[in-house]
Structure 1
């Protein structure tokens, strides 16, 4: 099982990669470093990869889903409602996104990450 660690400020979240084309592209691009941006209760950041929406791309994700937003070439990690959420607690991304990893740690830690903070993804282990 391939694992990554996402670090931003004092936050560290481990995740396992899924078997998807997007996961392969991101794994090949590691390490990734960017500046964090926020949108409601979502942290997202630019990724040096491109990937079309996969057949199972979704707009609504669950806590712990690590997604790639094809329209913005960005990695998106939702941990609560966004400006587009329609119901309490719904995590609705800006558009269809490919879920490529599952967090092994609580993504709500990202609540303390502010825009501009350095964020990175690298292999874990």
Structure 2
């Protein structure tokens, strides 16, 4: 499963993310596609998912912009693209330690066009198979 891509789309845009193989990502991939309601928190977009994984040993609270993370306290994907209300010195500080899933492909600031309450769809990216 290493390097699987997902597409995240909302009314004014979309992006892809490359997901690494972790217990959380396996659970998440098993429920795709799904639609959720976006929430924003500073320069982070998050939304609930149909899975409830446990925190992983390498869960982190401070991540790089564009990290795909899973907030286990809220059963939500967390996609930071800049500082949150609890950040220090411009870092991406999540609400609590999150399981790291992978990275957004390209510029994570595209998430700035997501509005609180937007519908968000998460799905596999189709791959060509010969």
Answer whether TM exceeds 0.5 for this pair: yes
2:46 is the alignment partner of 1:44: yes
In the alignment, structure 2 segments of 5+ residues that lack a partner are none
Cα deviation per residue 1:44-84 (whole Å; 9 max; x = unaligned)?
00000011110110001111211100011011000011011
Instruction: Report the equivalent of 1:4.
Output: 6
Which deviations, in whole Å up to 9, do the C-alpha atoms of 1:81-125 show, x marking residues without a partner? 1011011x2000000100112111211011111111010110001
Which has the higher Rg, Structure 1 or Structure 2?
2
* 2:59 aligns with one of 57, 60, 63: 57
Query: May I ask how many residue pairs the two structures share in their alignment?
Result: 124
Q: Distance in 2 between matches of 1:107 and 1:48?
A: 24
Which position in structure 2 is the counterpart of 1:67? Answer: 69
Q: Which runs of 4+ in 1 moved over 4 A?
A: none
Q: Deviations over 1:5-57 (max 9, x none)?
A: 11112211111110100000000010121010000000000000011110110
- Equivalent residue, structure 1, for 2:107: 106
Gaps of 5+ in 1: none
SS in 1 for 2:29: helix
TM-score normalised according to structure 1 size:
0.95
Greater share of residues in helix:
1
